[in-house]
């Protein structure tokens, strides 16, 4: 709008005008559907093999094994 009063030329409406032209065919975050990732899954001890259910919001590498105290990893 030249003067900011609403008298400017009308905007385009053709292809590529930025109004919902996306196709939505991407894989999404983290490469799409990965087994073992997300809310479910298990944390497994790298030393003795003990497994615990994964808790949402807590990375497995921050969890210590209840049996031997070693770091856990995501299964």
Instruction: Give 75's contacts (C-beta < 8 A, 6+ positions apart).
Output: 36, 41, 42, 43, 44, 51
Domain boundaries, the chain: 36-60
pLDDT for position 70: 96
Instruction: Provide the pLDDT for residue 7.
Output: 75
pLDDT in tens, 50-73: 999 999 999 999 999 999 999 999
**Per-residue pLDDT, 40:** 79
* 5-64 residue pLDDT tens: 777 676 666 666 666 656 766 666 655 555 545 567 999 999 999 999 999 999 999 999
């Amino acid at each position: 709008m030249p003067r900011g009063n609403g008298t400017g030329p009308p905007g385009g409406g053709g292809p590529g005008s930025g109004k919902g032209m996306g196709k939505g065919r991407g894989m999404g975050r983290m490469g799409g559907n990965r087994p073992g990732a997300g809310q479910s899954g298990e944390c497994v001890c790298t030393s003795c093999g003990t497994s615990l259910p994964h808790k949402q919001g807590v990375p497995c590498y921050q969890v210590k094994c209840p049996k031997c105290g070693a770091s856990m990893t995501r299964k």
